[in-house]
Chain A
Amino acid sequence: MSTTTFIDSNGAAIELDAVSLRFRRYGDSRPAIKQAVLNAIFSRSYAKTRDFWLFRDLNLRISHGQRVGIVGANGAGKSTLLKVISGIFYPTAGRVRVTGRIAPLIELSAGLNPELSGVENVYLNGAILGFSPAQMSAKMERILEFAGLEPFARTPLKYYSTGMLMRLAFAIATDVEPEILIIDEVFATGDAEFIQKASGRMHKLMDSSHIVVMVSHDLSLIRQFTSRVLWIDKGKIAADGKADDVCEQYLRSAQTPA
């Protein structure tokens, strides 16, 4: 049961209680009526959907003030865990509790519509993060200036270059002062000057957020920004502890062949 209530609380928190997630893959073929009919007739799975449990009874508690890094091999479930925390995937069983305004920087360009102009996209993206158009109008100038896109504010996004898109997305996503910041491999693409600006803002944002959860393959980045690190391996928390300790453990396991 998912509830959204507005409460006054002074502590941001993420709690996962016995969360299980069953992932469904429907193979290469599109699920079609033919299969459904055949399934019904033969009362068994004609075209097997390959279900697998990505998480089984996962428990995790992240409290106010923590900076958490997540490391692990590709496909271990790092990004999926972020998606469960941000509410994109709903747990098959268990409970996810998130207190605080959450800004998932999972994929920066997620809320952008190529048919709309820069300005219109700022409103759309802001609305997704919970801001009214009036609130976004107040931020508009600052966002466009930071992204360096004032001359292109009225141009549809489909004519933007990749760098321009990333700059706009980054400028919006980082201007919203979230309490919980979820970062999935976000690195700024752009020229040297923008990267400089972006990393400055990222630092400020991470300082002001109550909780930061970041996924990265860049261990030096993880060590620099986080104090607690989770090592996720095949959907399980293999290690959870001080950043340096867990990074060390993870590196060792990567070097010794299994």
Chain B
Amino acid sequence: MLERTTIGIELVGWRRLSPAFWVSAIAQDLRLVYSFRHVLGILVANQLKVRYQRSALGFLWTLINPILMLSVLALFMSQVLRMEIRDYAVYLFSGLVPWQFFAAAISNGSMSLIASENLIRKVSVPKVIFPLAESLVAAVNMAFAILALAILLQFVRPGVNVQLALLPVGLAMYWLFAFGLALTTMTLVTYFRDCEHILQVLLQALYFCCPILYMPRQVGRFAFLLDFNPITHFMAFSQAAFYYGQWPTAQNWMIAAGGAAASMLLGYSVYKTYEHDYIYRL
């Protein structure tokens, strides 16, 4: 049996400053998401299904798409632009696949409330499950792409690095970072629809600010600027595992962990502030 108590006024005001409020809020939201786990599961499954339902190759596109994308970029960058990086396809893969996860989690997550407007206006669901589903879908797609490409790229450069053991930890922090940021951008996009367009441009700019197509050493004396981009440090984990074969640095660890925590902190407090107001903006 489901019991629901809703107290309006107590959500706002000074209570927000007490740690006890946040502990109970988090516990409550975890319980709420758990009780809606079937909806979450179906949202994720449907997202994966709907996208490829009508195509002949179906779900295989999850695998073919990154392979083709990678082939085109690798061919162009190494043959036309003469990128001087050894095993360029492997390097490109280790940065591009995590980037595509991030871009999908942010842009789909930002639009998730608007896309589910129909549902939100007519049934009572915790809003957080929509961006959560999007970031899980992006993570599943990333997992498939990593698996397929890591096997395929054995032909380019055989062997497995021990640093692969750290990849799950790195990706977990990366996921938290992306999810927290998606909660923030989702709020911005829902409130100010203009932000949707701004976001796309920012993502494109950010893409070139990450060491994906090029290596930090190629940027010359401005290489240190890349360290200010937290995504550089998340990518360090996948690049370490698949390309460099060196352990991530202490700086990588600190910025990745700190970035994940800060992003979740910001995203969750923004979400809690507007949780019950989103419906008026849809």
B-binding residues in A (CB < 8 A)? 1-9, 19-20, 23-24, 26, 30-33, 36, 86-102, 104, 106-107, 110-111, 113, 115-116, 120, 123-124, 126-128, 130-133, 179
The one of B8, B38, B122 in contact with A131, judged by C-beta atoms closer than 8 angstroms, is B38
Using Cβ atoms and an 8 Å threshold, which residues of chain B touch A102?
2, 4
Using Cβ atoms and an 8 Å threshold, which residues of chain A touch B277?
24
B147 close to A (CB within 8 Å): no
Using Cβ atoms and an 8 Å threshold, which residues of chain B touch A93?
8-9
How many B residues have CB within 8 A of the partner chain?
Answer: 44
B192 close to A (CB within 8 Å): yes
B50 close to A116 (CB less than 8 A): yes
B202 close to A (CB within 8 Å): no
B276 close to A (CB within 8 Å): yes
Instruction: Please measure, in the bound complex, the distance between the C-alpha atom of A100 and the C-alpha atom of B5, giving whole angstroms.
Output: 11
Q: List 8 A-B contacts (CB under 8 A).
A: A2-B4, A19-B8, A20-B8, A23-B280, A91-B7, A97-B6, A101-B2, A128-B119
Given A1-B28, A2-B28: A9 and B3 interface contact (C-beta under 8 Å): yes
- Give the nearest-CB partner of A49 in chain B: B280
B152 close to A (CB within 8 Å): no
- Give the nearest-CB partner of A3 in chain B: B5
B281 close to A (CB within 8 Å): yes
The one of A7, A26, A123 in contact with B3, judged by C-beta atoms closer than 8 angstroms, is A7
> What 4 pairs across the A-B complex have the smallest Cβ distances?
A110-B122, A87-B124, A90-B276, A91-B8
- Give the nearest-CB partner of A110 in chain B: B122
The one of A19, A99, A128 in contact with B123, judged by C-beta atoms closer than 8 angstroms, is A128
Least distance between A25 CB and chain B CB atoms (Å): 8
B46 close to A111 (CB less than 8 A): no
- Give the nearest-CB partner of A12 in chain B: B1
Instruction: Please measure, in the bound complex, the distance between the C-alpha atom of A2 and the C-alpha atom of B21, giving whole angstroms.
Output: 12
Using Cβ atoms and an 8 Å threshold, which residues of chain A touch B53?
115
A-binding residues in B (CB < 8 A)? 1-11, 24, 28, 31-32, 35-36, 38-39, 41-42, 46, 49-50, 53, 118-125, 191-195, 275-277, 279-281
- Give the nearest-CB partner of A37 in chain B: B192
Given A2-B4, A2-B6: A133 and B281 interface contact (C-beta under 8 Å): no
Using Cβ atoms and an 8 Å threshold, which residues of chain B touch A8?
1
The one of B9, B38, B122, B192 in contact with A127, judged by C-beta atoms closer than 8 angstroms, is B38
Using Cβ atoms and an 8 Å threshold, which residues of chain A touch B24?
1
A92 close to B8 (CB less than 8 A): yes
A6 close to B6 (CB less than 8 A): no
B3 close to A98 (CB less than 8 A): yes
Instruction: Please measure, in the bound complex, the distance between the C-alpha atom of A5 and the C-alpha atom of B31, giving whole angstroms.
Output: 8
Number of contacts between A and B (CB, 8 Å)?
153
Instruction: Please measure, in the bound complex, the distance between the C-alpha atom of A94 and the C-alpha atom of B28, giving whole angstroms.
Output: 19
Using Cβ atoms and an 8 Å threshold, which residues of chain B touch A24?
277, 280
Least distance between B253 CB and chain A CB atoms (Å): 37
Instruction: Please measure, in the bound complex, the distance between the C-alpha atom of A35 and the C-alpha atom of B39, giving whole angstroms.
Output: 36
Given A4-B4, A6-B1, A7-B1: A128 and B28 interface contact (C-beta under 8 Å): no
| Interface-centre pick from B39, B41, B49 (highest chain A CB count, 10 A) | B39
- Give the nearest-CB partner of A1 in chain B: B7
Using Cβ atoms and an 8 Å threshold, which residues of chain A touch B11?
1
A106 close to B8 (CB less than 8 A): no
Q: A87-B124, A88-B120, A179-B1 are in contact. List 13 more A-B contacts (CB 8 A).
A: A19-B8, A32-B192, A90-B275, A94-B7, A95-B7, A111-B119, A115-B53, A120-B42, A124-B42, A127-B39, A128-B123, A132-B38, A133-B42
Least distance between A39 CB and chain B CB atoms (Å): 12
B124 close to A86 (CB less than 8 A): yes
| Interface-centre pick from B2, B11, B35 (highest chain A CB count, 10 A) | B2
Instruction: Please measure, in the bound complex, the distance between the C-alpha atom of A2 and the C-alpha atom of B125, giving whole angstroms.
Output: 12
Using Cβ atoms and an 8 Å threshold, which residues of chain A touch B280?
23-24, 26
Using Cβ atoms and an 8 Å threshold, which residues of chain A touch B36?
127
Instruction: Please measure, in the bound complex, the distance between the C-alpha atom of A234 and the C-alpha atom of B24, giving whole angstroms.
Output: 36
- Give the nearest-CB partner of B280 in chain A: A24
Using Cβ atoms and an 8 Å threshold, which residues of chain B touch A101?
1-2
Instruction: Please measure, in the bound complex, the distance between the C-alpha atom of A104 and the C-alpha atom of B119, giving whole angstroms.
Output: 12
The one of B1, B32, B118, B122 in contact with A106, judged by C-beta atoms closer than 8 angstroms, is B122
B195 close to A111 (CB less than 8 A): no
Using Cβ atoms and an 8 Å threshold, which residues of chain A touch B46?
113, 115-116, 120, 124
Least distance between B125 CB and chain A CB atoms (Å): 7
Using Cβ atoms and an 8 Å threshold, which residues of chain B touch A32?
192-194
B4 close to A98 (CB less than 8 A): yes
